[in-house]
Amino acid sequence: GAVVSQHPSWVICKSGTSVKIECRSLDFQATTMFWYRQFPKQSLMLMATSNEGSKATYEQGVEKDKFLINHASLTLSTLTVTSAHPEDSSFYICSAPTPDRAYGYTFGSGTRLTVV
């Protein structure tokens, strides 16, 4: 079945540095990728939607200059957290529409980011 591979699974970085998170669709082409953030004990909140070959669409309140999203190919979407601060520490997860079903989305395994 369709798989979205997300890396890294966890990362610890120093405040002020940038972190890149990758989501790759395996065995299928993902023209759209959704990026979510999840704080502890909370639900998933959509941050942005990336579309291959065009600019990402950001949800209200999400800083596009801080959370850079690139969808350069049909199998790779990246989220870069720039100048990370401790308040950016969270669980980030991506998902793409599942091609072999008329419904449903395939999620990556998530990235736990800790900024110290």
Cα distance between residue 29 and residue 33, in whole Å: 10
**For another protein, the closer CB: 5 or 82:** 5
34 in contact with another protein (CB under 8 A): yes
103 in contact with another protein (CB under 8 A): yes
**For another protein, the closer CB: 12 or 16:** 12
Query: Residue 16: which of 78, 92, 81 has the closest Cα?
Result: 81
Helix, strand, or coil (residue 88): helix
Cα distance between residue 64 and residue 68, in whole Å: 6
Q: Which residues bind another protein (CB under 8 A)?
A: 34, 38, 42-44, 46, 49, 91, 93, 95, 103-107, 109-110, 112
